[in-house]
Amino acid sequence: MNKFDSEIHKRRTFAIISHPDAGKTTLTEKFLLFGGAIQTAGAVKSNKIKKHATSDFMEIERQRGISVATSVMSFEYKGVLINLLDTPGHKDFAEDTYRTLTAVDSVVLVIDSVKGVEEQTRKLMEVCRMRDTPVIVFMNKLDRDGQPPFDLVDDVEKELNIHLHPLSWPINNGKEFKGVYNLYDKSLLLFNPNQKATEEDMVPIGDLSDPLLARMVGEKDAAQLREDVELIEGVYGAFERGPYLAGKTAPVFFGSAINNFGVKELLDSFIRIAPEPRSRETTKRVVEVAEDKLSGFIFKIHANLDPKHRDRIAFMRVCSGRFERNKYYHHVRLEKEVRFSNPYSFLARDKDVIDEAFPGDVVGLFDTGNFKIGDTLTEGEDFYFTGIPSFSPEIFKEVVNKDPMKTKQLEKGLLQLTDEGVAQLFTQYGGNRKIIGCVGELQFEVIQYRLLQEYGASVQFNSLPFYKACWLTAEDRKKLDEFIRFKTANIVEDKDGHLVYLAQSQWFLNTEIANNPGIEFHFTSEIHK
């Protein structure tokens, strides 16, 4: 195997997703601790510890204790280079999460074993299913009283419409929680609530009839575990990697991230079964991961990562070839050559300049305003990677400038912040009223705060009575022009000049769709058709 192939072979790029408060940020930190990337875990919500979670790096995140922007962390573990993309758990930032899922090869879904499947979890799984992304499930918070494990598995299977395959199994839960049996490695990990799990707590038990098991957990629990494992092996059979890689089966692990329990088993199994970087569809052809020419796409843009400098970082997923510092690459949309003297890899806020990157890696590119979400870099070929969606917002507000002296700063701020893809900017058709569309209320707070802090622009947002944005297309341009003439008050343009109809309600929308058979109404705008 040559160096290039072995670099691809050792990479795993994945995202951790969950409903808010299921323990995603805690799990991320434990992964980083195992990888030696951080030395101490910073409890996000603890005031005693002034260090915040390494993956939360915006001021508003530190104040609120929530993850707002997706951050990227790279670390090595047992000879495997792991690129971990942490996603915002908060539902108001779903758009950023959906797009991050286009840049990864697999996903770890964290479920709170006390609350089970929640609304946000369902939506995230739908996005994974759009791309058949392989999913591993981590049932968290086993040290709290929650549903019995079999009920929990049934609940998740039913709610998320996916086949689960337990690779570890808990001995009780809540106050009675004693540990986890690893079905994959045939070993037992004993839980001690007052200390972190270490290698010493791992007991190899190849045969569950071994009397050692009863000595460790007591006769009653040993008998229950034997019964459970027999049932699991009878129902699920041996684990096969193929259905998991095809997105049809999801392996399940149990543990408690806050106690660092069951996390190492998850990580050890992850590096063995998770997919390496894969080939990807483009508008012209399938790009094979082992091709020697570079290609990659921008899935996220973050302005002002460093508040002292007006910088924007565009996050690029490398899909094929080798990315090299200071080499010229072809920017497909702008039809120009660009090069980067300081490309970065990330550990949350810490940036390291890199000389090269390989498929699966996420590279931070210093951006002076050249990039939009979905842009492609190649070595000359013209194509775009497909499947990078823009979803219809659910809340719309008009931007009112409170300081006319700062109009320029406001325009620049609105453009740059909406380039990050967390909100969408619309302009009234034939006018210049600015309307922002978001998935959730909290987004407006973040935008208002950042406009003031980073651009010195003071705004207020006035709510508008719209319920959905629909992108419009028509074979017959005359029909479209006529529709626009009658509906001017509801017509806006997005940043790329595409026409969008803002519907006041489902009833209005249904009526317009029925009355205008020659016009197509789209609820997502695929960034590159």
Question: What fold characterizes domain 392-526?
Answer: Alpha-Beta Plaits (3.30.70)
What would the 3-class secondary structure string for 220-263 be?
Answer: HHHHHHHHHHHHHHHHHCCCCHHHHHCCCEEEEEECEHHHCECH
pLDDT at 193 over 70: no
Tell me the average pLDDT across 13-37.
Answer: 81
What would the 3-class secondary structure string for 330-342 be?
Answer: EECCCCEEECCCC
Total residues belonging to the chain? 529
What pTM did the predictor assign? 0.78
157-171, 345-359, 390-404: the lowest-pLDDT one? 345-359
Residue 241: band (very low, low, confident or very high) from pLDDT cuts 50, 70, 90: very high
Q: What are phi and psi of 20, to 5 degrees?
A: -55, 140
pLDDT at 47 (0 to 100): 33
Cα–Cα distance, 266 to 139 (Å, whole number): 11
Compute, in degrees rounded to 10, the torsion defined by CA atoms 462, 426, 493, 283: -150
Which CATH number does 3-75+105-273 carry? 3.40.50.300
Note the helical H segments in 101-192. Answer: 119-130, 149-160
pLDDT at 505 over 80: yes
pLDDT at 65 (0 to 100): 43
Q: 175, 162, 113: which is closest to 135 by C-alpha? A: 162
Tell me the average pLDDT across 473-478.
Answer: 89
Angle at 172 between CA 168 and CA 175, to 5 degrees: 130
pLDDT at 68 over 50: no
pLDDT at 182 over 80: yes
62-71, 153-162, 311-320: the lowest-pLDDT one? 62-71
3-75+105-273 and 280-378, same CATH topology: yes
Domain boundaries, the chain: 3-75+105-273, 280-378, 392-526
Note the helical H segments in 73-171. Answer: 94-100, 119-130, 149-160
Q: 215, 213, 256, 271: which is closest to 84 by C-alpha? A: 271
65-69, 309-313, 341-345: the lowest-pLDDT one? 65-69
pLDDT, mean over the chain: 81
Residue 476's H or E segment, with its range, is none
Which CATH number does 280-378 carry? 3.40.50.300
pLDDT at 41 over 60: no
pLDDT at 504 (0 to 100): 92
